[in-house]
A and B are shown apart, each in its own frame.
Chain A
Amino acid sequence: EAGVAQSPRYKIIEKRQSVAFWCNPISGHATLYWYQQILGQGPKLLIQFQNNGVVDDSQLPKDRFSAERLKGVDSTLKIQPAKLEDSAVYLCASSITGGAGTEAFFGQGTRLTVV
């Protein structure tokens, strides 16, 4: 079974530029999560989709971050404009149903450096 695919693996941009990350979850998984993991911290949930609807985006900085999940499969996370404090690893995860005692499968993440 293929895992969660993310691209790119690494990205370096200047502040105020824009960047986009892509995620392809495990086939058949209804729930997709985007997490931000700052060095030395645990993953912080940014947004959770159930199929193509948003379940929770309470911690997404909506003035600069946006995310979409087209047709309930692939997802993109965009930052525009980027700030220095956005430097982090962005992890995508998926699960069959979402919570309720189901495990989340993570991709390798995209390491973003904002200079």
Chain B
Amino acid sequence: SQKIEQNSEALNIQEGKTATLTCNYTNYSPAYLQWYRQDPGRGPVFLLLIRENEKEKRKERLKVTFDTTLKQSLFHITASQPADSATYLCALDMSGRGSQGNLIFGKGTKLSVKP
């Protein structure tokens, strides 16, 4: 079965620095990969989606890369702010891979940005 690893349970960085979060998966590559943000007591909120044929996607201070050879996605937050502190979840979108659109989530990385 598909396994997802987000390599850090927690990541602490200083305000203004770039946060880099990693998502690795096993077995076959998803058609899409999504990143979500989850704040305590709330449901996940969608941030970015990247397709298997895209190398990089940007949205404001966020950047996602997707390397199907390495089976890895990197999620970057540039010029990080304390308000970026949250748990970030990687999700594999298995559409067209023998399933009908399941989203399989990793455990998440808890990011803390210190002022």
Contacts and interface: CB of A to CB of B under 8 A. Distances in A.
B106 A98 contact: no
Interface string B85-106: 0000100011110011111111
A106 interface: yes
Contact of B43 (A44, A99, A109): A109
Interface size range of chain B in the complex: 20 to 34
Interface string A35-71: 1000011111100101000011000000000000000
A102 B46 CA distance: 10
A101 B102 contact: no
Given A104-B46, A105-B46, A108-B42, A45 B102 contact: yes
B75 interface: no
Contact of B89 (A42, A50, A102): A42
A43 B105 contact: yes
A55 B4 CA distance: 22
B63 interface: no
Nearest to A4: B43
Contact of B105 (A44, A55, A105): A44
Nearest to B104: A45
A35 B61 CA distance: 29
A106 B44 contact: yes
A103 B94 CA distance: 13
A101 B31 contact: yes
Contacts of B115: none
Interface of B: 4, 6, 31-32, 34, 41-46, 49, 51, 89, 93-96, 99-108
Given A31-B101, A103-B34, 5 more contacts: A50-B100, A56-B100, A56-B102, A99-B32, A99-B100
Complex A-B, nearest 6 residue pairs according to Cβ-Cβ distance, in ascending order: A99-B101, A106-B43, A99-B95, A42-B105, A103-B46, A98-B101
